[in-house]
Chain A
Amino acid sequence: SQQGEEDPQALSIQEGENATMNCSYKTSINNLQWYRQNSGRGLVHLILIRSNEREKHSGRLRVTLDTSKKSSSLLITASRAADTASYFCATPNNNAGNMLTFGGGTRLMVKP
């Protein structure tokens, strides 16, 4: 079963707008990671947030983590057509040596 579940499953916005994706998970974690996947390519690591952090920034990316609600959000500001991709959250699987478990992803389309 998937530990993380992204919401929404698909999102379409205009270039320049902000995009927000959410991830909910079920069990306690020590960190949460976000990845991007361009069409036909492998996943690329974007950012890792630890359980003792509430917010983290990387360029136009802002990630928040609320451990009390078991949820995280990824905000992409001033989106560009090149941001069109699928975005996945990943959490450690406590039953499998902290191997990562990936959610189903949010498909983001940014229209020029």
Chain B
Amino acid sequence: NAGVTQTPKFQVLKTGQSMTLQCAQDMNHNSMYWYRQDPGMGLRLIYYSASEGTTDKGEVPNGYNVSRLNKREFSLRLESAAPSQTSVYFCASSEQAGRYQPQHFGDGTRLSIL
């Protein structure tokens, strides 16, 4: 049981390049999330998908787009990468959105933008 799988694990980009981070979960969860974690800080929500076919902005959505491809997969796209987007990106899923639902996390994508 893999849980939440993120690819790639590491990536280096040049400013202005585009990139899509992939996330897939095999727990039949309805809700999926993208966070970023900067050094010494907690997680900040970028976008979330409460259910298949819906997406909503989180706390820090600027510079990102998302696609809920199907129930399993939720991708995050950087259209024109900037150094400020250097971070560790985590995907998570839960049975339902919010309230009493614990979230299950992948191991992250470490992204550096030069």
Contacts and interface: CB of A to CB of B under 8 A. Distances in A.
A25 interface: no
Contact of B107 (A40, A48, A50): A40
Contact of A42 (B4, B56, B59): B4
Interface stretch (A64-72, A73-81, A100-108): A100-108
Per DSSP, are chain B's interface residues mostly helix, strand or loop, or mixed?
loop
Interface string B61-105: 000000000000000000000000000001010000111101111
A98 B42 contact: no
A31 B30 CA distance: 20
Interface size range of chain A in the complex: 20 to 34
A105 B42 contact: yes
Given A33-B102, A42-B90, A92-B99, A99 B107 contact: no
B97 A99 contact: yes
Contacts, number: 68
B99 A98 contact: yes
Nearest to A1: B59
Interface core residue of B4, B48, B59 (most chain A CB under 10 Å): B59
B105 A44 contact: yes
Contacts of B97: 97-99
Given A40-B107, A41-B108, 5 more contacts: A43-B92, A88-B42, A92-B99, A97-B56, A103-B42
* Nearest 5 A/B pairs, CB to CB: A98-B98, A42-B105, A102-B42, A45-B102, A102-B43
29 contacts: A30-B100, A31-B99, A42-B90, A42-B105, A42-B107, A42-B108, A43-B43, A45-B102, A45-B103, A45-B104, A48-B100, A48-B102, A50-B100, A88-B43, A92-B98, A92-B99, A93-B45, A96-B56, A97-B50, A98-B98, A99-B58, A99-B97, A100-B45, A100-B103, A101-B45, A101-B59, A102-B35, A102-B43, A105-B41
